[in-house]
Structure 1
């Protein structure tokens, strides 16, 4: 099974040659031939580390440094390449995000650019802070109210936050 966030294989440098992207393209082409008007794809979001979600309320309540908590990587992977051996050193950080979505987002952008019937739905403007360069999936003003459940689903509050995205799609669909 593939994941859109899987890293590029060691011998791949371009998305065109990427087996994950090729599988995504194949699936898109299978689906889009059955679409009359528009096919919507949800752009990738970071995967939230479910064990840290309960910590949000405590960190907000204790007024801890939330910028450190919002750091975009849970694991920093350093690969050391030897002749026939790859050693992986994992440095643990206690943050909310477990998987960075950058590569998956690049794959989706390229996929949508190749498909005239496709449109990308993106939650990044709602959950990403450009000034700090971090994702924030909770509301500090509302005492740490989370937008996602530990299972990486939108909570009721998260659904309310993204409602305007879908309202905009519905309002503009006839155009």
Structure 2
């Protein structure tokens, strides 16, 4: 990432936005969310726990923070999805809504529903430009 950044920085006029690290969803669980919620055998918390590993993303966040701080300064800005996907009630990331609609596809892309969920983040960025 550092070598790629060094190649890009001379061509950046205003800002380079980098999506900060957040827990990757386990793709095999995505298709089961609505079904498990419909059955009612598992709580939202239990479903959440089966969807991601809450620990390993912190290294990526630290790495990106150091990269922005040491390599590009004010030319780079991190986009943080943690606030968008953190559920304060259950103190965990939540990658689906109360109806079971997921914010991600099975290939770890943000779904159309997910884009609407993170739209306020991008609206704030655009308003500042």
Structure 2 counterpart of 1:12: none
Q: Kindly indicate whether residue 45 of structure 2 is the aligned counterpart of residue 105 of structure 1.
A: no
CA contact (8 A) 1:56 1:144 kept: yes
Counterpart mapping for 1:12-23 below 5 A: none
- Unaligned 5+ residue runs, structure 1? 1-23, 72-94
- Runs (4+) of structure 1 exceeding 6 A deviation are none
Number of residue pairs aligned between Structure 1 and Structure 2: 125
- Unaligned 5+ residue runs, structure 2? none
RMSD of equivalent CA atoms = 1.7
Q: CA deviation at 1:96?
A: 0.8
In structure 2, C-alpha distance between the alignment counterparts of 1:69 and 1:56, rounded to whole Å = 7
Q: Which has the larger radius of gyration?
A: 1
Which of 109, 112, 118 is equivalent to 2:76?
Answer: 118
Which of 20, 28, 44 is equivalent to 1:66?
Answer: 44
Could you give the per-residue CA deviations for residues 97-156 of structure 1, whole angstroms, max 9, x where no partner exists? 15731111111111122222100111110101245332111001xx10111011111111
Q: CA deviation at 1:66?
A: 2.1
Which structure features the higher share of helix residues?
A: 2
User: What TM-score results when the alignment is normalised by the length of structure 1?
Assistant: 0.66
Structure with more contact order per residue of length (Cα contacts < 8 Å, sep ≥ 6):
2
Which of 129, 145, 159 is equivalent to 2:115?
Answer: 159
Q: Kindly indicate whether residue 16 of structure 2 is the aligned counterpart of residue 35 of structure 1.
A: no
In structure 1, C-alpha distance between the alignment counterparts of 2:58 and 2:37, rounded to whole Å = 27
Which structure features the higher share of strand residues?
A: 1
User: What TM-score results when the alignment is normalised by the length of structure 2?
Assistant: 0.87
